[in-house]
Structure 1
Amino acid sequence: MSDTAAATSAEQNAEVPKEAASNDTTGHPLETGWTFWFDKKIENKSHAVMKASTYFDHLKNLGSFRTIEEFWDLYSQLSRPYDMHQSTTYHVFREGYMPMWETFPHGGAWIIRFKKQNHHPSPNLSKCWEELVLACVGEAFAEPDLVGVMVSVKPKEDIIQIWNKDNEDNESVKDELGEKLKSIMTHLDGTTIEYKDHASSMKDKTHRSTKPWLAAISHNGKPHGHGHGHGHGHGHGHHGKHHKNEDEKHAEKGEHDENTSGEEKKSSD
């Protein structure tokens, strides 16, 4: 399959799932419901500034799920990051929350950047994405202040974000979530984890100007540098079939762009 054909197929899969998650709650229930969202950068608007309402209009709800079975039914129909069409973003957020900075003005996000390798996605991108999605819906973080995760693709790097809801009254919770993130991510060899408050993101309309959260993660999940706090999070088991990632075989995508949101949102850095 050519790059163009693969990209077109991936975009179609993202925008039009074969069927939405069912309302059958007779399976294995999750602690809370979750929703998959999708957005794509507007064509020919690489330097445009969008209002939050415009960004909202371009968010597509791909379906919600409340059981393990519903999750796998929906997740299995979506493209993995190595097959995502350029300039697209997937979001997985707790049901009832929108993946927008304005929804959580006192929150923030951990940001993990994956550098392109000869314009191809990092072999670890899809592995890390699936680890995080499973950890979130399985409540491995054991903290409702974690509200969602997203994966974005852009020209020189791909980005995974983990959002928390409130830093004003839950600074210690933020530290604990950061520590649990370190223990959950097993494919971040030498990767830096950054953090940025949404209030700052709404001011500069980018995911730049971040603060390092952890210097680097070693292959065994232990930091090369120093992190924050001393949390010890343990995940819950996951049920349903597991889909094998094949980043090395499918890393054939070209240029990508990042989507961001804000009261006025810059579509790319």
Structure 2
Amino acid sequence: MGVEENLKSLSTKEEENKNRNPNLKEEGDYDTTLPSPKKGIMEQPHQPEHLWTFWFDNPSAKSKHATWGSSMRAIYTFSTVEQFWSLYNNIHHPSKLAVGADFHCFKYKIEPKWEDPVCANGGKWSVTFHRGKSDRCWLYTLLALIGEQFRYGDEICGAVVNVRGRQEKIALWTKNATNETAQISIGKQWKELLGHKETIGFIFHEDAKRERGAKNRYTV
């Protein structure tokens, strides 16, 4: 079952669960970075500061002649930590996605496109992994986003994992590329959260639009 089918199924199940008891949580395998459900305990859902939306660009729907991003779809917006874990534990992680897939998690109402007004003047930090090796860092990145762990959290737009034949790349998108202080802080903090030792670079979206293989403006 693909990402879109999984999320549609989960959406249906969630509506059914709401009719039964909206606050009852089930047992599962959870990371302790964010509050996790405990069996049989009745309590209010944990709500992050922002709503977040998962977007999926299905490689089978892409066409060489289509406009970039035209096959991208917003597939689920979650508003609680419990919803996040339900989604995360029931969809494919990057190592299981098809080659060519792009999976995004962005703040609600921000589209993961250069053309989006919030993203237009921004840029991105990127980390590259061998094929099948980005799952842990993808989860850590999502937890950092949802848990508002960045000192310059208002600068964050979202994150994307790109799955390709020989590698996977996670990119962290930000709003104001020229705000060097904020970007350097975000890059350093992200590296620390991931436990990444190698140098990473920041590319301005404006540079990437003008030329393929744009150079890094910042590195940490």
Q: What TM-score do the two structures reach when normalised by structure 1?
A: 0.63
Q: Which runs of 5+ in 1 are unaligned?
A: 1-8, 215-226, 228-269
After superposition, give the CA deviation of every residue in 1:87-114 in whole Å (9 maximum; x if it has no partner). 1011000001000011112100001111
Distance in 2, Cα, partners of 1:58 & 1:98: 13
Distance in 2, Cα, partners of 1:213 & 1:113: 16
Q: How many residues align?
A: 188
Tell whether the 8 Å contact from 2:123 to 2:174 is kept in structure 1 after alignment.
yes
Shift of 1:210: 3.2
Name the amino acid aligned to 2:206.
A
Distance in 1, Cα, partners of 2:218 & 2:165: 24
Greater RCO, CA 8 A, separation 6+: 1
Distance in 1, Cα, partners of 2:65 & 2:114: 15
Give the 5 Å matches for 1:96-135. Answer: 96-103=109-116, 104-116=119-131, 121-122=132-133, 125-135=134-144
Distance 1:141 1:74, change over 3 A: same
Distance 1:144 1:42, change over 3 A: same
CA RMSD of aligned residues (A): 2.3
Name the amino acid aligned to 2:216.
K
> SS of the residue aligned with 1:71?
helix
Distance 1:202 1:109, change over 3 A: same
Residue in 2 that maps onto 1:154: 164
Give the 5 Å matches for 1:16-165. Answer: 16=5, 17=7, 18-20=9-11, 26-41=44-59, 45=63, 48=64, 50-52=66-68, 55=69, 57-103=70-116, 104-116=119-131, 121-122=132-133, 125-142=134-151, 143-165=153-175
Name the amino acid aligned to 1:156.
R
Give the 5 Å matches for 1:102-251. Answer: 102-103=115-116, 104-116=119-131, 121-122=132-133, 125-142=134-151, 143-168=153-178, 170-186=179-195, 188-189=196-197, 191-204=198-211, 206=212, 208-211=213-216, 213-214=218-219, 227=220
Residue in 2 that maps onto 1:248: none
Distance in 1, Cα, partners of 2:62 & 2:55: 22
Higher normalized strand content (fraction of residues): 1
Distance in 2, Cα, partners of 1:176 & 1:146: 12
Higher normalized helix content (fraction of residues): 2
Aligned sequence identity (%)? 24
Q: Which runs of 5+ in 2 are unaligned?
A: 24-43
Distance in 1, Cα, partners of 2:51 & 2:141: 16
